[in-house]
A and B are shown apart, each in its own frame.
Chain A
Amino acid sequence: LAKTTQPISMDSYEGQEVNITCSHNNIATNDYITWYQQFPSQGPRFIIQGYKTKVTNEVASLFIPADRKSSTLSLPRVSLSDTAVYYCLVLVDSGSARQLTFGSGTQLTVLP
C-alpha cells in the first residue's frame, strides 16, 4: 500500500498558526480524512475529521483540496501544550485492498 507521508518535524513559537500537511495519493474516493494528536506515554487522540473542502472545530481546521490527495491540519495560535506528534489517518485504496493507514507522524514542538 502507498505510504501516507508527513513532515517528520516542525517547530513553531507560541501564538503562531501551524499548518501540517499529509500527502495521501491513494486515498479511497468515498472516505474521510482524520487527524489525531499523541502525547508521550498516551494513545492518539481525535482532533478533527473531514471529507472535502474545509472543516473547523473549536481546536483546529482541516483543509482538503478538490483532488483529496493531501490534507492540511491548521492549528491557530499554538501554545506550549500543543507540543505533540500529529498523525493523519486515511483509507488507502491500492486496487487490491483497502486499509486504514496512519501517516508517518509530525513532531510539533512549540517554543516559548
Chain B
Amino acid sequence: KAGVTQTPRYLIKTRGQQVTLSCSPISGHRSVSWYQQTPGQGLQFLFEYFSETQRNKGNFPGRFSGRQFSNSRSEMNVSTLELGDSALYLCASSLETRRNSGANVLTFGAGSRLTVL
C-alpha cells in the first residue's frame, strides 16, 4: 500500500514569489491535513480538508491556502513568500472515524522543505 506522497521534496524560492505543494494521500483516505514545522514553532496545524471541503483552519494568514480534489489529492499554496515561511511542510492523511479528533491516526508524508531567500 503506497504511503502519503508529497512533491516536491525540496524547493527554493525568493521573497514575494508563490509556491504550490502537492500531496497524494493513502488510497481510501478522504481527510488530508497540512502542517508547518519549524525549529522555533514546532508542528503547527495549517488546515484540514475532507471531501473537497476545508473543515478546519489554523492560525495562519490568508496567504496560506489549499484545496482538495475529487480524488482526495490536495494542494497548498503560499503567496507573497516571506523569509519566515521557510519550513518543512507536512501533509497527513487519515481514514477518518471521528471529525476533528485525535482518534484519527495520521499518516504523514516525508514533507516538502521550502527555503525562502
- Chain A: residues with CB nearer than 8 A to chain B? 31-34, 36, 41-46, 49, 87, 89-91, 98-105
Extra 18 A-B pairs, beta carbons < 8 Å, given A31-B102, A99-B56, A105-B43:
A31-B101, A32-B102, A34-B103, A41-B111, A42-B110, A43-B109, A43-B110, A43-B111, A44-B90, A44-B108, A87-B42, A100-B45, A100-B56, A100-B100, A100-B102, A101-B45, A102-B35, A102-B42
Q: B98 — nearest CB in chain A belongs to which residue?
A: A31
Residues of A within 8 A of B106 (CB): 36, 44, 46, 89
Residues of A within 8 A of B92 (CB): 43
Residues of B within 8 A of A41 (CB): 110-111
Min CB–CB distance B83 → chain A (angstroms)? 22
B27 is an interface residue with CB less than 8 A from chain A: no
B76 is an interface residue with CB less than 8 A from chain A: no
Check if B100 sits within 8 Å of A91, measured CB to CB: yes
Please give me the 7 A-B residue pairs with the lowest Cβ-Cβ distance, nearest first: A43-B108, A102-B43, A32-B102, A32-B103, A34-B102, A46-B105, A91-B102
B21 is an interface residue with CB less than 8 A from chain A: no
The CA of A33 and the CA of B106, in the complex, are separated in Å by 13
| Interface of A: prevailing SS | strand
Check if B102 sits within 8 Å of A49, measured CB to CB: yes
Instruction: Please indicate which of the listed interface residues A32, A34, A44, A101 has the most CB atoms of chain B within 10 Å of its own CB.
Output: A44
Q: A27 — nearest CB in chain B belongs to which residue?
A: B102
B32 is an interface residue with CB less than 8 A from chain A: no
In the complex, per-residue mask of B9-45: 1 if CB is within 8 Å of any chain A CB, else 0: 0000000000000000000000000010000001111
The CA of A100 and the CA of B110, in the complex, are separated in Å by 20
Min CB–CB distance B6 → chain A (angstroms)? 8
Residues of A within 8 A of B4 (CB): 43
